[in-house]
Amino acid sequence: MRRRTAVKKQLTTPDVKYNSELVGRLINTIMKRGKKSTAQRIVYGAFDILKKKKKEMEPLEIFLQALENVKPKLEVKSRRVGGATYQVPVEINNERQVALGMRWLTGFAHARKGTVMKDALAAEIIDSFENQGSAVKKKEDTHKMAQANKAFAHYRW
């Protein structure tokens, strides 16, 4: 039984340019050491690159579709039953899906060495938009892991 009270959700402020809450969350995900203006410069620079490369679509639409392609639906959680640890597949709620998707997008963009962060973020968003790239592969690996451990689904709590 849970002893603590439920944590209240903090509202994410929408970003200035696109007035989108998801872009505001992306900026907060990229931000390090409280440097929000630097994170905004990176995200807006990446969106400008998206606008140049994909002229037929808005950068916000490209980002939303890329995020949709990266969001995982299932994940595995460790569950200890009688001395054995099982990887139990569980469905993920929408907030966690978005958080994982953004974390994977920014993480794999950061892992692209030798490029400026805004270029790397734009390249990762374009790859995810086209169902390619490291973030989409991570999602597929997570789903494969959940599929492989489907036999332990009855241990769900």
Domains of the chain: residue spans and CATH: 21-155 (1.10.455.10)
Instruction: Specify whether the CB–CB gap between 85 and 149 falls below 8 A.
Output: no
The answer to whether the CB of 143 falls within 8 A of the CB of 73 is yes
Instruction: Specify the higher pLDDT residue, 151 or 103.
Output: 103
The separation between CA 129 and the C-alpha centre of its own chain, rounded to angstroms, equals 13
Res. 1 pLDDT band, cuts 50 70 90: low
Confidence class for position 137, pLDDT limits 50, 70, 90? very high
pLDDT at 157: 61
Q: Look at 119 and 149; give whichever has higher pLDDT.
A: 119
Please determine, for residue 155, whether its predicted confidence score (pLDDT) is greater than 80.
no
6: three-class secondary structure by DSSP: coil
d(CA 108, CA 104): 6
Alpha-carbon gap, residue 124 to 120, rounded angstroms: 6
Tell me the C-alpha distance between 101 and 67, whole Å. 6
This prediction has a pTM of 0.88
Q: Tell me the pLDDT band of 86, cut-offs 50, 70 and 90.
A: confident
Please report where in the chains the tokens 């920014």 appear, as a residue: 106
- How confident is the model over 38-58, as pLDDT tens digits? 999 999 999 999 999 988 899
Give the whole-angstrom CA distance, residue 99 versus residue 25: 9
